[in-house]
Copies of this chain bind each other. A is one copy, B any other.
Amino acid sequence: MGLRKINIDTVFHALGDPTRRAIVERLSKAPLSVSMLAEPLGITLTAVAQHLQVLEESGLVHTEKVGRVRTCRIETAGLSVVEKWIRDRRSTWERRLDKLGDLLAESDG
């Protein structure tokens, strides 16, 4: 999974849905089967499966079928893509603020 190219549009889209965020929140606590995931969400297994497909495509969840049970666990690749994008913006922005600070200090001196 680690080498797979993750589309950042897909990750942001996946996380824009409260049900999908709830799935990621629960899986960050423990791996769960699809039916255990569905229960407290009050949605059908089919709906959960659709959400899981979006989450898998985004590198946010990994599912694996063993026998008749599909187990879902968190995958961090998708979160890392978003984190990196935000960190890059912040560092550009903070460098700019530093430069502005230097300019102000020079004009003071």
Chain A interface residues (CB < 8 Å from chain B): 8-9, 12-13, 15-18, 21, 24-25, 28-30, 74, 76, 79, 82-83, 85-86, 89-90, 92-93, 96
Integer count of this chain's copies in the complex: 2
Q: Find chain B residues with CB under 8 A from A13 CB.
A: 12-13, 16
Whether A89 contacts B18 by the Cβ 8 Å rule is no
Q: Are A86 and B83 in contact (CB under 8 A)?
A: yes
How far apart are the CA atoms of A61 and B26 in the complex, in Å?
31
Q: List 11 A-B contacts (CB under 8 A).
A: A9-B18, A12-B15, A13-B13, A28-B90, A28-B93, A29-B92, A29-B96, A30-B96, A74-B89, A74-B93, A82-B86
